[in-house]
Structure 1
Amino acid sequence: MEYIKAFLVGGAICAAVQILLDKTKLMPGRVMVILVCTGAVLGALGIYEPFAEWAGAGAGVPLTGFGNTLFKGVKDAIDKDGFLGIFKGGFTASAVGISSTLIFSYIASWFFNSKMKS
């Protein structure tokens, strides 16, 4: 049942994003920023954590989960380091995700050529 919930929730988030991309003139980069900010705001309101516990990986894998991770890192760093935690908390909490993205993107660039969208 856990896999089904994750599949349905993650699929619903991805479907909503695809509809947003298809029905508006928003560029993909802006939509990604909207997702990260939405995850951070929902985390700040205390809504995202119970939702993520219920949905499992379906809520944690999309970019909304990344936004929530950034928020939690900044919140913990502010509690620990004060004002300076604003600047380093997000990097500390998401270092593994950012590093793996860079490494796997670099490896993928060996095998695939990018094409400009016309």
Structure 2
Amino acid sequence: MDYISAFIVGGLICVVAQILMDTTKLTPARILVIFVTLGAILGGFGIYDKLIEIGGAGATIPLPSFGNGLAKAAIKGVKENGLIGAFTGGIEGAAGGITAAIFFGYLMALIFNPKTKQ
């Protein structure tokens, strides 16, 4: 049952993104920002954690989970270090994901021949 709920939750997140790309003039980059921002907002209010309980990996892997992680780290940073923790906590919480994205993006650029779309 865990696999099915993860598939449904992750699939619904992807369906929303696809509908936004097909029916609006939003670029994929703007949709990415919207998803991360929504994840941060829902995480700040504790709503995204309920979605993670239901969807498991289907909710922890997509982009809103990155925003959720940022929000949780910033909240933890504020509790530990005051206002400056809002900035340092988010950076600490996102460092692993950002580092992995840069590393694997660079690795793929070395392996494949990147080209711009024409």
TM-score normalised per structure 2? 0.94
Q: Over aligned residues, Cα RMSD in angstroms?
A: 1.1
How many residue pairs are counted as aligned between the two chains? 118
TM-score normalised per structure 1? 0.94
Letter paired with 1:48: Y
Letter paired with 1:18: Q
Q: Which whole-Å CA distance do the structure 2 matches of 1:29 and 1:117 have between them?
A: 15
Partner of 2:99: 99
Deviation at 1:60, TM superposition (A): 0.7
The reply to whether residue 49 of structure 1 matches residue 49 of structure 2 is: yes
Write the deviation string for residues 48-104 of structure 1: whole angstroms up to 9, x where unpaired: 111111210101100000000000000000000001111111111121111111111
**Displaced runs of 4 or more, over 4 A:** none
Deviation at 1:106, TM superposition (A): 0.6
Map 1:46-85 onto structure 2 (within 5 A): 46-85=46-85
Q: Which runs of 5+ in 1 are unaligned?
A: none
Identity among equivalent positions (%) equals 47
Letter paired with 2:44: A
